[in-house]
Amino acid sequence: MEKIKNFISSIATRLGVSLVAQLVSNFGGRSGLLSIGIGEAECTLRQIRMISYRFGGRVPKAESLLSVCWRRKRGKVLVFPRKEANPHIIIVGMSGFGKSTLFKSIMIDIVRAGLPAIVFDSHGEHEDVVRLLNGNVYNSKYSGVNMFDLGGATVSERTSELASLLKDAFSLGYIQSTKLAECIWYTYRKKGARGMGDRNVEKTPSIADLISELNIFIKNSRSASERNTLLHLKERMSLLAGPAFTSNFIDVGKLTSGVSSFSLPSIGSGEAQFIYIHELLRRLYISMKSGEMERGLRMYIMIDEAQFIIGSTRNDSSIIRKIVEEGRKYGIGIIIATHITSNLDRQITANAATMVSFYPREPSEINYISNAMSGNDPARRDAVRKRLRALRQNEAMVVSSLMRDPVVVRTARISSLMKHFGVESPGRSDLEAECGAAELARLPVEYSSLERRFGKQLIDRMIGEGSLDVAELDGGGAPRTIVMTHRSSPSAGHEGNVMLISEKLEARGIKHYVNRSKRGPDIVAYINGSRVAVEYETGAKNPAETRKMLASRKAWGFARTIVFVSSGSFDFYKSGFVMDGVDVADIRSLESYDFSRW
């Protein structure tokens, strides 16, 4: 049986015929012999030997040199996860170039092969396709996770894990996290825990119980400093008092068949999203560890828009890192789609056998990807870097542990994806256009640009339904209207003005990059040899949080912090937040602002 599978797999690899690929998928089923189609090959990087003649006398001397070049290649590019060093895949690239469409295509391949998939959908944009695949969509507004569930751990272990998780999510200090751990222990004790070594309690606590315990600590605080620390903790914990952490708790055992998507837009903050996903992944990890080791694949975990969920620090991605490092032994694969790979934990990228890169705009990201795809060969690295810069929409570069020479492929568009897989939505003839508009609007895009491509009626309807947000920008030049796929944070206005500032820096030749992670400044710029933090503030942030943010920029080694603010908030910020190393400017002055004086 194994020989037959290998024979079919080898034919598909050589011929790249979609019929054979489908045969492999159907034949393999749950055994893990899954084929994932990336796209149609256009060219591949090849190392060639060139003869160079050097004339130094009567007889020319021939020298053999190794060089690289892009050669034309045809056929369908398939990835066979079971045959790779590991089944993990990273998809990276700027919004609007086909990353989300490939994510959907891979999801369909996985489901058609009979493998279960769990999808974390930050913006709710994969809901339609999941439903068309007869999958389950869990809206975080109605499907919760109780982070106080012990899940086989001791009270001591769970208290430590929760304190560390909340410390990372909310950037708490040592004193705050220590006090929080104490409150969590008292919460467990009041629910029946008699010692730190207990693995069961009479009743599992909830976030409401923790807030109630914090109120008792606040009432019994012995100093103003202790009281302020506890009040800050209560304010942070209150952000988790919504349905996502208080009701309708999810049974992880029900996620072992079909495709299950967790739609996260209703969770109000990035910190809460991070905690929600972390807790679900922790339960999946425990379930994975309790199962038997097996060959082949039995499940995929897919994370879209990972830059909004996973940071680059060690603790931020600990559970994901553990699943990536150990998942192969238990038949678990991870697929991560992100705008910025360089912000991911290095252990995650190092353990992903397959990388697919669409066009990356950030110079630092281009350098990182070209190094990852080419190794230490300078000639290969330069060739990859130049080709990455030239990638068009629905073009991507692919490497894997078996396919070590980078291949440029033409990936499917959303229209051909729907047609090829026969995925149709009765009564929703404009589904394709909506998916295309939502994909292009992941980051701010001009209203007029979307209108020309998809029509005013569709864009206005999506704005009216709330799937797209609209914002008016006035950065000192002509007013501009931008739209962006809806999410609670950051807003379309915030992201649009960050885009304006980036455009102005680029126009003036100032080296910089936009930071898409949840931590750090909106933009990191390099001005006059110094590292400068550039922020945009809408005025909605709590003043105490703003002061903490400004203080952290100096602590993180930024020479200066430039804060552009909305016109209505300028006077407030100018009077209350000007301090050493900080300059506050009205966004309307962006056109004339002198960055070089810093």
- What are the chain's domains? 2-50+62-143+248-410 (3.40.50.300), 155-239 (no CATH), 441-598 (3.40.1350.10)
Q: How many CA atoms lie within 13 A of 9 on its CB side?
A: 18
Q: Which residue has the tokens 């990372």?
A: 168
pLDDT at site 62 = 55
3-state secondary structure of 105: helix
Report the chain's mean pLDDT, rounded to a whole number. 81
Return the structure tokens found at 395. 């073009």
Helix (H, G, I), strand (E, B) or coil at 490: coil
Q: Which residues pair with 469 in a beta bridge?
A: 484
Higher pLDDT, 210 or 257: 210
Cβ neighbours for 299, distance < 8 A, ≥ 6 positions apart:
115, 116, 117, 118, 256, 331, 332, 333
pLDDT at 268 (0 to 100): 63
For 373, other C-beta atoms within 10 Å of its C-beta total: 22
Q: How confident is the model at residue 30 (pLDDT cuts 50, 70, 90)?
A: very low
Give the position of tokens 């960050």. 498
Sign, CA dihedral 160-162-166-169, equals positive
- Least confident span in 7-21, 131-145, 318-332: 7-21
SS3 63: strand
Least confident of 154-168, 344-358, 545-559: 545-559
What's the whole-number mean pLDDT along residues 211-230? 92
Nearest Cα residue to 284 out of 241, 251, 311: 251
Helix extents (H) in 35-115:
99-112
Segment 383-396, tens digit of pLDDT: 999 999 999 888 99
Question: How many helices and strands in the chain, by DSSP H and E?
Answer: 20, 20
Which of these, 342, 361, 299, lies nearest to 503 by C-alpha position?
361
The answer, yes or no, to whether residue 113 has pLDDT greater than 60, is yes
Whether the per-residue pLDDT at 126 is higher than 90: the answer is no
Alpha-carbon distance of 189 to 112, in angstroms, equals 48
Span 191-210, mean pLDDT? Answer: 89
Amino acid letter for position 522? D
- The proportion of the chain whose per-residue pLDDT surpasses 90, expressed as a percent, equals 20
Q: Considering only CA atoms, which of 246, 239, 170 is closest in space to residue 208?
A: 246
- Region 337-362 average pLDDT: 86
pLDDT at 275 over 90: no
pLDDT of residue 25 exceeding 50: no
DSSP assignment letter at 597:
G
At 54 the pLDDT is 62
| CA nearest to 100, candidates 132, 74, 124 | 124
Q: Report the alpha-carbon distance of residue 169 to residue 160 in Å, rounded.
A: 14
Q: In this predicted model, what pLDDT tens digit does every residue of 430-469 receive, in sequence order? A: 566 777 787 778 888 899 888 888 888 888 888 887 778 8
Quick one: pLDDT at residue 14? 40
pTM for the structure as a whole? 0.67
Average pLDDT over residues 478-494: 83
Structure confidence by residue, pLDDT tens digits, 352-386:
999 999 998 888 888 899 998 987 788 888 999 99
Locate 448 and state its tokens: 């007029």
DSSP for 36-55, written as a single string: EEEEEEEEEEEEEEEEEEE-
43 — pLDDT class (breaks 50, 70, 90): very high
Burial 334-360 (b: 16+ CB within 10 A, else e): bbbbbbbbbbbbebbbebbbbbbbbbb
pLDDT digits (tens, 9 = 90+) for 288-314: 777 666 666 888 999 987 765 665 444
Residue with the two structure tokens 């500032």: 501
DSSP strand pairing (560-565 vs 530-537)? parallel
Q: Are 172 and 190 in contact (CB under 8 A)?
A: no
Confidence of residue 49 (pLDDT cuts 50, 70, 90): low
Among residues 453, 451, 517, the alpha carbon closest in space to that of 483 is found at: 451
* pLDDT for residue 27: 37
SS3 98: coil
- Give the C-alpha separation, 505 to 298, whole Å: 48
